[in-house]
Amino acid sequence: MINLLLFPIIIPFFFAIVLLFFKEQVRIQRILTVIGLSASIVAAFSLIMKVKQDGIQTLTLGSWPAPFGITMVSDMFSALLVTSTLVITLFVAIYSFSSIGEERERFFYYPAILFMITGVNGAFTTGDIFNMFVFFEVLLIASYLLIVLGGEKRQLRESIKYILVNVISSAFFVITIAYLYSIVGTLNMADIGQKIADIGQPGIVSVIGVLLLLVFGIKAGIFPLYFWMPGSYAAPPVPILALFGALLTKVGVYAITRTYTLFFVNDLAFTHTILMVLALLTIVAGCIGALAYFDLKQIIIYNILIAIGVILFGVSLMNEAGMQGAVFYLIHDMLIKGALFLIIGIMIHVTGTSNLREMGGLIKTHAPLGWLFLIAAFGLAGIPPLSGFVGKLLIVQGGFEHGQLFGTIVILLSSLIVLLSVIRIFIYAFWGEPVALQPTNRKTYKHMMFPTVILVALSVLYGVGTEWIFPYVSDAAHVLLDPSSYINAVLKE
């Protein structure tokens, strides 16, 4: 019993409510947002320390004993994700000060971000499957506001699609929970895991596994279900795109990882083979998209798909190296995708277009931006000692240990395509003949560079400091691979 694990959920929620009262005072909104997020980050870091020291932390709301009340559970995996979510949000919020425009700021932009973070952190922390649905809805409703905020013609068109897809996926989520409840008669995730292990996962449970993959796959954007993502994510302004790309897809990945390591572990040959095949197809689809477009946003959005494929491939292996790699790569990808979206936001701000063909020679006028992009691009592709390398190395190691030669080679080849796709941006935008630029405010540019530089620096540190971070990642992977430790922490207090 510890309340600490609620703080990263409650603090953003509280500040979001307070912000609603300062609709017109943009300056107060900005200050409160930074204070709220910083306070949550402090709470999240102390949560990591607590989990590292004392193992999995649980809290049952209202002090109902475990399988009956709603349980909140913080293991290392969820604590790490909560922390990186908050860190990225803080820098995206600072970046928004100079780029999102006062019009949007006055229409509840910051409260929407904070409500979304409440939902994201809640979904990471909850130990109750229906409560997870509720937190999904919290973050979705906030994201509906964010995606349509501004009301441009294109935004309206894409929002409709985004919302319809998510409403249908939510209905599927409810249906799946109904199936699950009719079979195991409980909603507590630890209890579900135990009951499924007791009845030995008959066929119907595997059907539920596939249904859950469908529900979470729509959110994460895995292979046949990613169709809505490139269009919808490209519609809102870049800071919102950065939040969606870095956080929302990862909630889906988290949910898949959690259910596929806690519930459906008795018929790996069926469920995890499906997961592996879909992960590989996601990588292939992402590679094709990343090379096909000349639009900055589209290229990076398709890179999200590749990363999701790589992470889920690591999860589907279900061995130690693969799982450690997946956890490490998941956090790496949150940081680096956040950073990359912020960088292309600056490029779009400077050039006034997101079309690569209309860019060129930026290295002459904006050299630091060029080098920053190159570092982030190398980090994304996984060139040692940057952060993408270690995660991918572990996933590849896990793949070979599992005997999955073909899949592992696909992962390795995808790294080359990732490198090619981002270097293509570098060549087109930074090399070549300089094109005439619209005069832009140099001060805005500097203000946008500040959070971006820090985020890239964090991702570099994450790669260079692997030795120091690795014990945490290995703790997280250990709990994922050993569901009984999660179940015991929740049910036997």
Distance (Å, whole) CA 293 – CA 73: 42
Distance (Å, whole) CA 8 – CA 31: 18
Residue 302 binds another protein (CB under 8 A)? no
Cβ of residue 290: shortest distance to another protein, in angstroms? 13
Cβ of residue 67: shortest distance to another protein, in angstroms? 11
Tell me which residue of 95, 172, 101, 110 sits closest to 142, measured CA to CA.
Answer: 110
Strand locations in 209-368 (E):
none
Residue 174 binds another protein (CB under 8 A)? yes
The β-bridge partners of 439 are none
Comparing CB distances to another protein, the nearer of 171 and 457 is 171
Q: How many CA atoms lie within 13 A of 380 on its CB side?
A: 34
Distance (Å, whole) CA 364 – CA 434: 8
Among 173-181, 280-288, 333-341, 376-384, the segment contacting another protein (CB under 8 A): 173-181
Cβ of residue 152: shortest distance to another protein, in angstroms? 9
Residue 295 binds another protein (CB under 8 A)? yes
As given in the structure block, the two tokens for residue 372 are 């920053």
Residue 346 binds another protein (CB under 8 A)? no
Comparing CB distances to another protein, the nearer of 50 and 161 is 161
Considering only 17, 31, 168, 409, the residue that binds another protein (CB under 8 A) is 168
Whether 428 and 355 have beta carbons less than 8 Å apart is answered as no
Residue 144 binds another protein (CB under 8 A)? yes
Distance (Å, whole) CA 82 – CA 242: 17
Residue 70 binds another protein (CB under 8 A)? no
Distance (Å, whole) CA 406 – CA 313: 12
* Residues contacting residue 201 through CB under 8 Å, at least 6 positions apart: 264, 266, 267
Distance (Å, whole) CA 93 – CA 121: 17
Residue 197 binds another protein (CB under 8 A)? no
Distance (Å, whole) CA 63 – CA 231: 45
Comparing CB distances to another protein, the nearer of 171 and 427 is 171
Residue 288 binds another protein (CB under 8 A)? no
Residue 167 binds another protein (CB under 8 A)? yes
Residue 164 binds another protein (CB under 8 A)? yes
Residue 171 binds another protein (CB under 8 A)? yes
Distance (Å, whole) CA 67 – CA 120: 23
Could you give phi then psi for residue 59, rounded to 5 degrees?
A: -150, 125
For helices 405-430 and 367-381, angle between their N-to-C axes, nearest 10 degrees: 170
Considering only 61, 178, 199, 427, the residue that binds another protein (CB under 8 A) is 178
Cis omega before residue 368 (within 30°)? no
Distance of CA 450 to the CA centre of its chain: 22
Cβ of residue 313: shortest distance to another protein, in angstroms? 28
Considering only 10, 42, 48, 141, the residue that binds another protein (CB under 8 A) is 141
Cβ of residue 315: shortest distance to another protein, in angstroms? 28
Among 9-17, 158-166, 215-223, 480-488, the segment contacting another protein (CB under 8 A): 158-166
Among 132-140, 196-204, 403-411, 480-488, the segment contacting another protein (CB under 8 A): 132-140
Cβ of residue 128: shortest distance to another protein, in angstroms? 11
Comparing CB distances to another protein, the nearer of 156 and 367 is 156
Tell me which residue of 121, 139, 189 sits closest to 490, measured CA to CA.
Answer: 189
Residues at the site binding another protein, with contacts judged by CB under 8 A: 130, 133-134, 137, 141, 144, 148, 151, 153-154, 156-157, 159-161, 163-164, 167-168, 170-171, 174-175, 177-179, 181-182, 187, 230-231, 234, 293-295, 297-298, 354-355, 357
